Amino acid sequence: MIVNIEFTKPKNPNILSRIISLIEGTEYSHVRLRFNDYVYEASGISVHFQGKIAQTYCPAELLHTYSVELDIEQYSKLLKLCMDNAGIEYGFKQLIGIGLVRLFGLKNNPFSDGRKSQVCSEIIGRFLQEILNIGKDLDLDIASPKDIKNVLDKTYGEK
């Protein structure tokens, strides 16, 4: 099973995506998974799947993709991870905390709440750590899409 890790930005960027890109110094502001024609992501108000029809209403510009082959055991773990986290609230406060960490050099995210809410880089970081067994040193409370891309570049080569 092929799973794509995608780095995107909205086709019609909002203020939040522009701020993330500005603080991180990247063109992309979001990271998500794509498999079986579905997108799995933390965005909007929750962690969720997005089907083909819904994807047409929230178009994104794809900037980088990493294709990863999963064996059946990894794929089963991925489905469990996705189902266990689907519906969890989006971590707006946590995202603000990540920005504060970046801007002021804080060591910890003052708005970290464990797994009560998730941001895109946190849910994809869990996929990297728990299923691909990479990026174990990432602190998911302060990880950004750029941090996820750095792990992937180190592991699979720069895209």
* pLDDT(34) > 90: yes
**Whole-number average pLDDT of the chain:** 96
Q: What is the pLDDT of residue 56?
A: 87
| Residue 158 pLDDT | 84
What's the pLDDT at 66? 98
Q: What is the pTM of this model?
A: 0.95
Report all structural domains of the chain as residue ranges with CATH numbers, in order of start.
2-156 (3.90.1720.10)
From residue 1, how far is each of 32, 38, 76, 93, 132 by CA, in Å? 17, 13, 10, 34, 13
pLDDT at 106: 96
Average pLDDT for 35-45:
95
Average pLDDT estimate for 29-43 = 96
Would you state the pLDDT for residue 142? Answer: 97
- 3-state SS string for the chain: CEEEEEEEEECCCCHHHHHHHHHHCCCCCEEEEEECCEEEEEECCEEEEECHHHHHHCCEEEEEEEEEECCHHHHHHHHHHHHHHCCCEECHHHHHHHHHHHHHCCCCCCCCCCCCEECHHHHHHHHHHHHHCCCCCCCCCCCCHHHHHHHHHHHHCCC
